[in-house]
Amino acid sequence: MRSSPFFHFLLRLLYQQKGKHIGAMVISVLMIFLLSSVLFVSSALQHSMMQTLQGEPDFTVSRVRAGVPAPLPLDWIDEISQLNGVTSVVPRVYGRYYFTPKGDSFLVVGVDMFDEQNIHAISTLLHEVNLQAFLAKPSMFVGEGVKHFLKRHYFSDHFNFKMPNGHFKEVAIVDVLPHNTNLLASNMVLMPLALAQEIFGFSSEEVSDISFNVPNDAEWRTIQNKLQWMFYDVRVVTKKEIKEAYIHLFNYKGGLFLALYLVAMLTFMLILYQRYTMVYTTERKEIGILRAVGWSINDILRLKLYENMTIVGVSFLVGVVLAYGYVFLLDAPLLRQIFLGSGTLLESISFVPYIPFGLLGSLFLMYAVPFLVAVLVPAWRVAVTPPKEAML
Amino acid sequence: MNEVLLSHEVMVYLLSESLLYGLLLLGFLVSLRLLKLWDFEAFTTQQFRLETQSYLLATILLFMIVIKLGLLPYFVYTLDTLSDIVPGAMCGAGVIKANSYGNPLLLVKSITLVLLGIWVTLHQLDLEKKNYPYFRIKTWFFVAIFVLLSVEYGLDIAYFTQIDIHKPVTCCSVIFGQVGGANALPFHLNTLQLLLLFYLSFVLLWVLIVSHKVVWSLFGVLLFAFFAYYSVVYFFGTYIYELPTHKCPFCMLQSHYYYVGYMVWGLLLGSVFVNVNRVVMQVFFHQSVETLQRLSWLLPLLFVLLCSLYVGVYYLKNGVFL
Amino acid sequence: MIEVQGVSKTYNDGTSQAFDALKEVSFCVKKGEMVTLLGVSGSGKSTLLSLLAGLDRPSQGKIVVDGELISKLPDLHASRYRAKGVGIVFQHFNLLESLSVEENVMVPLIHAGISMETLQSRVSKSMELASITHKATQKVKALSGGEKQRCAIARALVHDPALILCDEPTANLDRANSLKFIEILQTLKGLGKTIVVATHDPLFENLSFVDRVIGMESGEIVQ
């Protein structure tokens, strides 16, 4: 491959004059690092959420009384099953169990262990579990965060739940949920439905919600209306609504952050403009020399453009690589607290890399366009320096 | 606040467009001064200064066209991401129809790119001469482009601020679907006739370019683009999606089709762009630009090959056509 | 080769500080001739040289070099004129201090559309002609005055220009280096180059290979 004299000269000049550009590069790398880290975390979380949502049921029905969630009767299952187009109707019991009042808590989820779908899901998650042994005595699966937490409190293979009637219930810890479910399941406990009902003081006929699927999405609207007619105090949430809510939440939070970042970016543009407008005597002389020996204004502009593009490219690459390492190799210390909170149960969550190509494009545009706009007029001003004046 | 404006892609897009428009305004002010005071025959310091200022205008426009060439696919990508929050939209097709500004905006964007390309070519020709013979016409042309770019910027703001995420839009199967005789092909053509005209118009375009029939080749490329658009949406697209009922120009821009839509529409737009540019240079300025000449037949060829490849590969894999 | 017809140059025209650097100067230089413009500081010889180089434009008059009217060339064409046909040696050398000798010498050829290999061979030849090859990789700021001048000469010759313009080339050299420089000029004259030197150095007054001496005073030709 023939090397170009122009690029050879450009690289030599950049190397010799690296001191001139180092300030702009350092700030650029910092800004890109910050922005990329936030967007990488947000993207990873959003992707994990969406992936998890794939496995969620299409509809979840719960009950609201005086604006507060209330248990619903188990016989709603029969009524819902009778609706045309509805499949896999499954009850769930869940709630927050507080280890100490106003202290740490974990999510207890009770599912019907005899339901085919649930058995299949659990077998997929935990390959070696013996379900019969599991159901022989009160047992549970715990998330990694719960496991570590209980161990710190000297509960290594069982935990004593304090029940509403004042008695304790010893429940054995059979297995830990896999690491890759940590984002949602780290502080979760999975147990049989009846056990969860006992722990929360539900009767055997009460559950927290009922979930089901409606394969034909053209029927969703109709099913939602029918449920509203059947039960006056029902609350119906569809998977699509959850997905939209998450997207709105991420957009809202991300958008606010970006808006603030914009202010920082505009300030940086101003600094860049000022810096590159202050063309020192030596630089004016150098440009004058180049023009005197036969370089045209276009040639100088081309040199300046490539100079700036190199700074943009290198800063972007370094910033993005550093952000990738920070988020996906080091699990974003400090930043993770902003996104996930600071509960000890959340320490075992790690971010799964997910960087869509469009995100990189957005990052690049967000940085490169303001940078190049800021340096365009100063670059022109330098390029049109009359050669005679610059050489005096 | 309109939630659409909080989407990352929309923010990045509008920021880029706003910064470019700021530069453009500066260019416009410079152009007014140039038009008022330019006199190449004068030996004054003022004239020399005006010549250097003309370089500022050129730099701004060259920068603009490069960024806008990148922003057009990014705009389309933004529409695609908005389909997640605009109810009823499955791809950019629904989002662009979210209000009445969408389609005009897309059209104005394409036209401004073509015009910017013509300006850049004219500028290169002007520089090559020793007395700036096209200076005034070039600068007035920029003023016209400025007006159009202002309209484009206004449409950008209007479009994104008026997308109502509570109002469902129609998806591409309704906009482009042909179930029940809807969205019939122009001139009541059937698919076979459309394909025939597509390939014939391509051959005609080539013949006109190769035989240097300049003005006719302009009609040739517009005719080719017309049949190409319908062929891609109603025939070649179905081979990209591998579904005979899926007719949409936007879905092929998504990741599950490996973003091939950008290549397809990019090649078609590029073909029109280059041919219009070439014709304008030859007809109005009697200049033949070698690069444009070469690209004017190469881009349509690549476009036709790419589209035909999808059909060919499908047939080879499955032994039948859709 | 060079025709200067009624050339005037006014700085700060249209203001109260307007100053006539050149007043209706006319002369010719034939191809292969060496001409010395002799005059004190402020006589207009450097201004005239910058007009001949296309670095500036006259306020009045015409300058034709090799049949091309260079007095009204736009920047792109003036740059091409310099890049192809003019080599300039400046009073203060005007080298890029942060780069090496060979990097300075290559500068005029960077936009010549040639490969790196061809460029490097031309640079080597030019450095040899100026006797500066032994300092090729050294940074310019570490060179002596005489060495810097030879580097400047190498740069002025690398693109094989037909016209060489020298603006006070010996002003910052000692006598020994000045004489060496004059030797190089003699060699270039022998190679058929057209040379115009603007100077007030008395060393140039009685050189045998100088075809003509043009005296200048207050922007006018006096002899």
Find, among A204, A205, A212, A187, the residue nearest to A109 by Cα: A187
Query: Residues A274, A357: one domain?
Result: yes
Query: Residues A256, A368: one domain?
Result: yes
Is A225 domain-assigned? no
pLDDT exceeds 80 at position A132: no
Task: Provide CB contacts within 8 A for C106, sequence distance 6+.
Answer: A5, A9, C119, C120, C123, C158
A301 contacts B59? CB cut-off 8 A: yes
Query: Residues A78, A201: one domain?
Result: yes
Query: Residues A38, A103: one domain?
Result: no
Query: Residues A99, A190: one domain?
Result: yes
Average pLDDT, chain A: 83
Q: Kindly state whether A266 is in contact with chain B, defined as any CB-CB distance less than 8 angstroms.
A: no
Query: Residues A65, A209: one domain?
Result: yes
C155 contacts A293? CB cut-off 8 A: yes
When pLDDT is averaged across residues C2-12 and rounded to a whole number, the result is 88
Look up the domain containing A177 and give its range: 59-213
What's the CA gap between A41 and A53, in Å, rounded?
18
pLDDT at B179: 63
List residues in chain C touching A: CB distance below 8 A: 50, 53, 55-56, 75-76, 78-80, 82-84, 86, 88, 90, 92, 94-99, 103, 106-111, 114-116, 119, 155, 159
Is A229 domain-assigned? no
Q: Specify the higher pLDDT residue, A32 or A46.
A: A32
Number of structural domains chain A divides into = 2
Find, among C209, C167, C203, the residue nearest to C186 by Cα: C209
> How large a percentage of chain A has pLDDT more than 70?
88
Q: Kindly state whether B59 is in contact with chain C, defined as any CB-CB distance less than 8 angstroms.
A: no
Query: Residues A72, A186: one domain?
Result: yes
Query: Residues A277, A377: one domain?
Result: yes
Pairing of strands A168-176, A158-162: antiparallel
Q: Kindly state whether A85 is in contact with chain B, defined as any CB-CB distance less than 8 angstroms.
A: no
pLDDT exceeds 50 at position A1: no
A6 contacts C111? CB cut-off 8 A: yes
What's the CA gap between B6 and A255, in Å, rounded?
4
Residue extents of the structural domains in chain B: 3-161, 176-318
Write out the two tokens for A368. Answer: 């490169």
Tell me the Ramachandran region of residue B169: left when phi exceeds 0, alpha when psi lies from -120 to 50, beta otherwise.
beta
Reduced to 3 states (helix: H, G, I; strand: E, B; else coil), residue C19 is strand
Find, among C79, B129, C110, C77, the residue nearest to A295 by Cα: C79
The mean-pLDDT minimum among A114-118, A380-384, B70-74, C2-6 falls in A114-118
Q: How many CA atoms lie within 13 A of C152 on its CB side?
A: 31
Find, among A16, A284, A290, the residue nearest to C110 by Cα: A290
Query: Residues A346, A279: one domain?
Result: yes
Cβ-nearest to C74 among B45, B46, B51: B51
| DSSP labels, B95-143 | HHTSSTTHHHHHHHHHHHHHHHHHHHHHHHHHHHSSS-TTHHHHHHHHH
The mean-pLDDT minimum among A173-187, B219-233, C78-92, C108-122 falls in A173-187
Is A329 domain-assigned? yes
Hey, which chains touch A, using 3+ CB pairs under 8 Å? B, C
Q: pLDDT tens across C172-183, in order?
A: 888 888 888 898
List residues in chain C touching B: CB distance below 8 A: 12-14, 57-60, 72-77
Find, among B27, B161, B15, B176, the residue nearest to B92 by Cα: B176
B44 contacts C14? CB cut-off 8 A: yes
Is A182 domain-assigned? yes
Is A234 domain-assigned? no
Q: pLDDT tens across A256-310, in order?
A: 777 788 888 888 888 888 888 876 677 888 888 999 999 999 999 999 999 999 9
Q: Specify the higher pLDDT residue, B173 or C152.
A: C152
Q: pLDDT tens across A241-267, in order?
A: 777 777 777 766 777 777 788 888 888
Write out the two tokens for B293. Answer: 């000449």
Q: Kindly state whether B53 is in contact with chain C, defined as any CB-CB distance less than 8 angstroms.
A: no
Low-confidence residues in chain B, pLDDT < 70:
1, 173-174, 178-183
Hey, which chains touch B, using 3+ CB pairs under 8 Å? A, C
Q: Kindly state whether A370 is in contact with chain B, defined as any CB-CB distance less than 8 angstroms.
A: yes
pLDDT at A117: 66
Q: Kindly state whether B184 is in contact with chain A, defined as any CB-CB distance less than 8 angstroms.
A: no
The single-letter DSSP state of residue B252 is G
Taken in order of first residue, the domains within chain C and their CATH numbers are 2-221 (3.40.50.300)
Which ipTM was obtained for this model?
A: 0.90
Q: Specify the higher pLDDT residue, A361 or A357.
A: A361
